[in-house]
Amino acid sequence: MRTHYCGTITSAQIDEEVTLYGWVDRRRDHGGVIFLDMRDREGIVQVVFDPDTEEHFQRADRVRSEYVLEIKGRVRARSDATINPNMLTGEIEILGKKLEILNSAATPPFQLDQHIEVGEDVRLKYRYIDLRRPEMLEKLKLRSRVTSSIRRFMDENGFLDIETPILTKATPEGARDYLVPSRTHEGKFFALPQSPQLFKQLLMVSGMDRYYQIAKCFRDEDLRADRQPEFTQIDIETSFMNDQQIMAITERMIQGLFKEVLDVDLGDFPHMPYAEAMSRFGSDKPDLRIPLELVDVDDLMRQVDFKVFNGPANDAKGRVAALKVTGGAQISRKQIDGYTKFVSIYGAKGLAWIKINDITAGIEGLQSPILKFMPEDIITQMMARLAVTDGDIVFFGADKTSIVNEALGALRVKVGEDQGLIKGDWAPLWVVDFPMFEENSEGNLTSLHHPFTAPACSPEALEKNPEQALSIAYDMVLNGTELGGGSVRIHQADMQQAVFRVLGISDEEAQEKFGFLLDALKYGAPPHGGLAFGLDRLVMLMTGAKSIRDVIAFPKTQSAACVMTDAPGLADNKQLRELNIRLREKPKAE
């Protein structure tokens, strides 16, 4: 048996005999002596074989990169000249006495330190080699520590770990379902769950009181950089707790996690209403590390004779907002052109700006293509409101509120990053008081969260003024990323039906799709609520990973394929026949 992991041996083990297992990271021949860097999960240690140990020296001479070895030897101090302060094991080395080659290795398709050059496709095809890289190993190790810490917290707080089905029924959660044809029920299909939402609510109706699960969820969507067809959710539900209590306990969980795994003290999380977040940051997941804010100037712009501004300022669904960047006057015209292009992604038709060169010089001290459209007193009032000083720049957004928020919200983050304005490492917060509904592109109301979210009003008030209704929902945000979200759920059938009516879901449709939930609400459903965290995103944030694929052992590509196993693959006709399906033939090209 191994006595130590390679990476853990220090001066404390000097003169000890050790047995190691691992891979040859590097082999060097130097002055008649062979140096092997032995690597395992915990790091690297240097092993030296000299010609005294003839048989083993010869074997050491034969080994190549990625050979798998068993090594026995004695730990000794390195000479002062050869100490490597960059390695944890850099003060010692192993004087090798025995070497067994447990397996040889063909020349790998890429060297671990050349992973950047080969491109991600090769790395994904040989994932088992790519995962040997210490950075990758560390990410998966940290992920394991994260789930372990969360599970311990959940256990200690009386949450039961309960599994919910993977083969289940389609429920319209917005995204496309993965379907699984049933062999025994001809022409019917299971759906893979987009979340365990309904099951966890039913567990509350069952009296489980406190439930959690680290659950696989599935969405058949077109993938973006931070999405995967299967992803993992830390899923939590509890009975008899209100929103404040649910937020408090999950906040403690995340605080404890960061303390334990990263030794970071997150402090108390501020609470911010959705309306305030949108108004000040143009986002419902603001990155509070960036000290930039949107400021409303609609009242001023109503008075200017410039349609681009006074149009949205006079429109109830429009907004004119300013974003002051301290010290931003140095931003070049070329950069501003870049930002103008950037905000156009979000639908903004332009990006007005004013540079403040000398505030004491009044309008003469300002520089901007739009000054000519504005009365001087308006400019003066605006500059006062924004509390500008010399060297600042102010950007403007003027459009439909949603476009201004998205464009300036994104610009705020981009400029903050570009200008190095980010303050501190971690900025958590709760966003609360979400609207129940939002208008979709067809002008119909849809749930902002999901239709099981409890409103903060009576069924009557909800149906009378659905646009005004707030929900008892909450999102946990960290550094501009939504870590998790949840809500108190509807626990009474009449409220659930009122919500369905607002959403234009007929009683019949509701009964067909959610009949079992509506039934359950009638048979003694307790008040309940919960939360779900995206584990992949949480681990990305904690490890600083740039891609979600870096925190998943065997991820899919952006076209939802696994290039290592070559999945998905063909099915044979016998299988398809058993499943009562056939492939759709393509219409022939003419």
Under rule CB under 8 A, which residues in 229-288 are in contact with a copy of itself? 229-230, 232, 239-241, 245
CA-based nearest residue to 406, from 535, 307, 514, 294: 294
Compare residues 245 and 380 and give the one whose CB is closer to a copy of itself.
245
Sole binder of a copy of itself in the list 3, 148, 468, 506 (CB under 8 A): 148
Looking at residues 23 to 52 of the shown chain, list those that interact with a copy of itself (rule: CB under 8 A): 23, 39-41
Please give the Cα distance from 541 to 169 (Å, whole number). 32
Q: Are 410 and 351 in contact (CB under 8 A)?
A: no
Q: Is 220 annotated as a binding residue?
A: yes
Site string for a copy of itself, 184-203 (x = CB under 8 A): xx-xxxxxx-----xx--xx
**Segment near a copy of itself (CB under 8 A); pick from 83-91, 162-170, 250-258, 401-409:** 162-170
d(CA 60, CA 99): 7
Q: Minimum distance from CB of 414 to a copy of itself (Å)? A: 30
On whether 482 is known to bind a ligand per the annotation, the reply is: yes
Residue type, 351: L
534 is in an annotated binding site: yes
Residue 177 is labelled as binding a ligand: no
> What order do you get walking across the sheet with 393-400 strand by strand?
294-296, 318-325, 393-400, 352-356, 366-367
Cα(358)–Cα(365) distance, integer angstroms? 4
Closest to a copy of itself by CB, 138 vs 377, is 138
Q: Give dist(CA 559, CA 88) in Å, integer.
A: 40
- Binding residues for a copy of itself, rule CB under 8 A, total 118
Residue 294: CB minimum distance to a copy of itself, A:
38
Can residue 174 be called a binding residue for a copy of itself (CB under 8 A)? no
537-566: contacts with a copy of itself (CB under 8 A): 552-554, 556, 559-562, 564-566
For the residues of 380-396, what is the DSSP string, one character each?
HHHHHHHT--TT-EEEE
Q: Are 143 and 163 in contact (CB under 8 A)?
A: no
Q: Report d(CA 117, CA 120) in Å as an integer.
A: 9
- Write out the binding residues for a copy of itself, residues 92-121 only, by CB under 8 A: 102-106, 108-109
Q: Known binder of ligand: residue 219? A: yes
Q: CB of residue 154 vs a copy of itself: minimum separation in angstroms?
A: 9
**Alpha carbon of 278 to those of 26, 268, 286, 314: distances in Å?**
54, 22, 8, 19
- Using rule CB under 8 A, residue 4 touches a copy of itself: no
Contact between 440 and a copy of itself (CB under 8 A)?
no
CB-nearer residue toward a copy of itself: 8 or 367: 8
481-488 β-sheet, strand order: 160-161, 210-218, 230-239, 528-534, 481-488, 473-478, 428-432, 271-273
Which residue among 2, 28, 307, 546 contacts a copy of itself (CB under 8 A)?
Answer: 2
How far, CA to CA in Å, does 362 sit from each of 299, 372, 374? 21, 14, 13
Strands 68-77 and 92-103: antiparallel
The binder of a copy of itself chosen from 129, 266, 499, 532 (CB under 8 A): 129
Task: For residues 156 and 131, give the distance between their C-alpha atoms in angstroms, rounded to a whole number.
Answer: 33
Residue 144 interacting with a copy of itself (CB under 8 A): yes
Binding mask 397-436 for a copy of itself (x = CB under 8 A): ----------------------------------------
Among 442, 468, 531, 481, CA closest to 210: 531
Q: Which residues are CB-neighbours of 316 under 8 A, at least 6 positions away?
A: none
Residues 485-524 that bind a copy of itself (CB under 8 A): 491-492, 516, 519-520, 522-524
Minimum distance from residue 311 beta carbon to a copy of itself (Å): 39
Nearest C-alpha neighbor of 520 from the set 220, 262, 261, 207: 207
Choices 129-137, 275-283, 308-316, 440-448 (CB under 8 A): range interacting with a copy of itself: 129-137
The response to whether 439 counts as a known ligand-binding position is no
* DSSP 8-state code for residue 489: B
54 in a known ligand binding site: no
Q: Which is nearer to a copy of itself, 388 or 545 (CB)?
A: 545
Residues in a beta bridge with 217: 231
Cα dihedral 332/333/335/338 (nearest 10) = 180
Closest approach, Cβ 539 to a copy of itself, in A, equals: 11
**What x-and-dash track marks residues 55-94 binding a copy of itself by CB under 8 A?**
-----------xxx-x------------------------
The distance of closest approach from Cβ of residue 221 to a copy of itself in the complex, given in angstroms and rounded to an integer, is: 10
In angstroms, the CA 511 to CA 518 distance is 7
489 annotated as ligand-binding:
yes
Residue 581 binds a copy of itself, judged by CB under 8 A: yes
Q: Which is nearer to a copy of itself, 335 or 492 (CB)?
A: 492
CB neighbour burial string for 436-459, b if at least 16 within 10 angstroms, e if fewer: bbeeeeeeebebbbbbbbbbbbeb
Site for a copy of itself, residues 441 to 480, rule: CB under 8 A: none
Q: Which is nearer to a copy of itself, 344 or 575 (CB)?
A: 575
Nearer to a copy of itself, 257 or 278 (CB): 257
The DSSP 8-state label assigned to residue 286 in this structure reads -
Instruction: Give the shortest CB-260-to-a copy of itself separation in angstroms.
Output: 13
3-state class (DSSP) for residue 551 = helix
Question: Is 536 annotated among the ligand-binding residues?
Answer: yes
Q: Whole-number minimum distance, CB 48 to a copy of itself, in Å?
A: 21
Name the residue with tokens 């140096």.
35
Smaller CB distance to a copy of itself: residue 171 or 357? 171
Q: For residues 523 and 297, give the distance between their C-alpha atoms in angstroms, rounded to a whole number.
A: 53
Q: Is 350 annotated as a binding residue?
A: no
Quick note: the x/- pattern for a copy of itself over 205-234, rule CB under 8 A, is: xxxxx------x-x-x--------xx-x--
Residue set of the binding site = 173, 219-221, 228, 449, 482, 489, 534-537
Feature table: binding site for ATP: 219-221, 228, 482, 534-537
- Pick out the residues of the known binding site for L-aspartate: 173, 219, 449, 489
